[in-house]
Structure 1
Amino acid sequence: MPTPSSAPPRIARLLSALLLGFSLWLPAAALSATPAPPLMLANVYHPGIALADYWVSEKLDGVRGYWDGKQLLTRGGQRINAPPWFTAGWPKVALDGELWAGRGQFNHAVSTVRREAPDDAAWRRMRFMVFDLPAHPGTFDQRLPVLQSTLAKLAVPWVQPVEQVKLGDDAALQGLLQRTVRQGGEGLMLHRGASLYRAQRSDDLLKVKTHEDAEAKVIGHLPGKGKYQGMLGALLVETPDGLRFKLGSGFSDAQRRQPPALGSVVTYRFRGLNESGIPRFASFMRIYQQ
């Protein structure tokens, strides 16, 4: 395949546009010098799951964090500049968890983690909620007590194991889900007890939520009307498979005054699809974080 520099001008422009479009959908890890950590990823909960085989925990609304034994990384492989005291004395083993500031505090968690120079006061509100030991060779049933023992020995209040429970049936699961959401939580996670830690997406890890969510790229800003005159009315977005639709709800007034930039990727929530494949009741959640 010719490169943009070696092709005729018209073809070169086309190739450059294609490469730019492709790069917007590359994971941050593919554009970063640091390889992305090998993370276990979740599928969506579906009927037919043998619930007795799983541990259940709250799905925390924070920033995925990976401690490689020396440094904190995002899921995309970017180094997180936490204050030295935050990671002092941490074990020399890999920890997989969530950098979390509490329910409803996602924006605080993101802004804190993304700072080049750590804000000490902001980090005082953060916790590293650990849910797995990636390098341990055993099953999750075997990893869980080792994880709890490891963090008990560390004994710092801002590093805690995520609470894991067993539930008897789907009714109990749905009841816990509804209580968690009413209290400001995002949903639940299911972790198969017999599973090894494998860096892939599978039913060994499942997420349970009251709604679905997905990502789309911002390709246009549509003007507002009425009370939103002079502000954003809706985003025109495009999914990875090329579907375009308007995203007009879920924004604060501040976000309407300063909407997500063209080319950025946003997360939206929805409830199923209509016949043309457009997400139903789509609502903006946040700018997507790797």
Structure 2
Amino acid sequence: MTAPTINNPRSWNGKGLVGDWAVSLKLDGVRAIWRDIGWMSRANKPLHNLPPWRDGQPRDCEVFVNNLRDTIRATRTKCLKQDTPSITPRHLYGLAPLDPRLHWGTLTNPTPADIRAVLRRANALNFEGIVLRKGDDWIKVKPFETHDLPITGFSEGTGKHRGQLGFVTTARGAVGAGFTDSDREVLWAEANAGRLVGQVIEVTCMQLTDHGNFRHPVFIRMRPDKLIDSTA
């Protein structure tokens, strides 16, 4: 069986678009790709507890169970626990072909105002954002600029954060804001165990500088479901 071609959407540049664009709702879940050996993440790691793929079903899906945290717990737990969220077929949303539950109409020659208006309506329904599709050209639109990229280094904190994580470094600069005390403790333990560098971090920022570095970056969360090569 041939592995499916994975389409990773590019980020919207804030400009108007030309042509007819299908609008789909963006879930804040985990991408699941069916391969001969089972369901795999974009990081090519096994996903657990998903219903088996059946002939005729999409092989490129978004798994969404309540929220991202529950979804990651459900797909990464090898041995089910009493509080592990369960995954049923209704929690799998096809991306190619698109699940009808995610289809949200069409925009023709949309202006930036048109796109932002649709985004606001999607956010009001608790969706992460929207994806605009024209053939194989997919564009993701979120309410603020986010970037997923690997951690390249780290530093211990100072003052009240001594003995905890101070900041991490990335290809776009250092990130020290947004971490809770619990985040700093857990990630410092990962750093000391030699497991922090290479993990993918999601960061929001005001904008990028002309040199492509973060301006006022803030940590959002870790993204264990993403590959370094699949970040954007």
TM bracket (short chain): 0.7 to 0.9
1:67 aligns with one of 27, 34, 51: 34
1:234 aligns to what? Answer: 167
Q: Structure 1: 5+ residue runs without aligned partners?
A: 1-34, 134-143, 149-160, 197-203
**Number of paired residues?**
211
Normalised TM-score (structure 2): 0.75
SS in 2 for 1:107: helix
Q: Given that residues 69 and 91 in structure 1 are in contact (C-alpha distance below 8 angstroms), is that contact kept between their aligned partners in structure 2? A: no
1:165 aligns with one of 105, 112, 118: 105
Query: Structure 1 residues 181-190 or 250-259, which shifts more?
Result: 181-190
CA distance in 2, matches of 1:176, 1:121: 36
Q: Given that residues 26 and 127 in structure 2 are in contact (C-alpha distance below 8 angstroms), is that contact kept between their aligned partners in structure 1? A: yes
CA distance in 2, matches of 1:72, 1:120: 22
1:280 aligns with one of 204, 215, 225: 215
- Cα offset, 1:206, TM superposition: 0.8
2:21 aligns to what? Answer: 54
Would you tell me which structure has more strand in proportion to its own residues?
A: 2
Pair 281,81 (structure 1): closer, same or farther in 2 beyond 3 Å: same
Normalised TM-score (structure 1): 0.62
1:132 aligns with one of 96, 100, 115: 96
1:76-117 Cα shifts (integer Å, max 9, x gaps): 33332215xx337x3355432211123xx2122112211222
CA distance in 1, matches of 2:57, 2:128: 29
1:10-30 Cα shifts (integer Å, max 9, x gaps): xxxxxxxxxxxxxxxxxxxxx
2:205 aligns to what? Answer: 270
Pair 252,185 (structure 1): closer, same or farther in 2 beyond 3 Å: farther
2:55 aligns to what? Answer: 91
- Cα offset, 1:229, TM superposition: 5.0
1:186 aligns to what? Answer: 128
Q: Given that residues 247 and 283 in structure 1 are in contact (C-alpha distance below 8 angstroms), is that contact kept between their aligned partners in structure 2? A: yes
Q: Given that residues 207 and 215 in structure 2 are in contact (C-alpha distance below 8 angstroms), is that contact kept between their aligned partners in structure 1? A: yes
* 1:212 aligns to 2:180 (yes or no): no
Pair 279,176 (structure 1): closer, same or farther in 2 beyond 3 Å: same
Task: Give the letter aligned to residue 115 of structure 2.
Answer: L
Percent identity, aligned pairs only? 21
Highest RCO, 1 vs 2 (Cα 8 Å, sep ≥ 6)? 2
CA distance in 2, matches of 1:115, 1:65: 15
The CA RMSD over aligned residues, in Å, is: 3.0
Q: Structure 2: 5+ residue runs without aligned partners?
A: 227-232
Pair 163,43 (structure 1): closer, same or farther in 2 beyond 3 Å: same
Q: Given that residues 202 and 221 in structure 2 are in contact (C-alpha distance below 8 angstroms), is that contact kept between their aligned partners in structure 1? A: yes
Would you tell me which structure has more helix in proportion to its own residues?
A: 1
SS in 2 for 1:132: coil
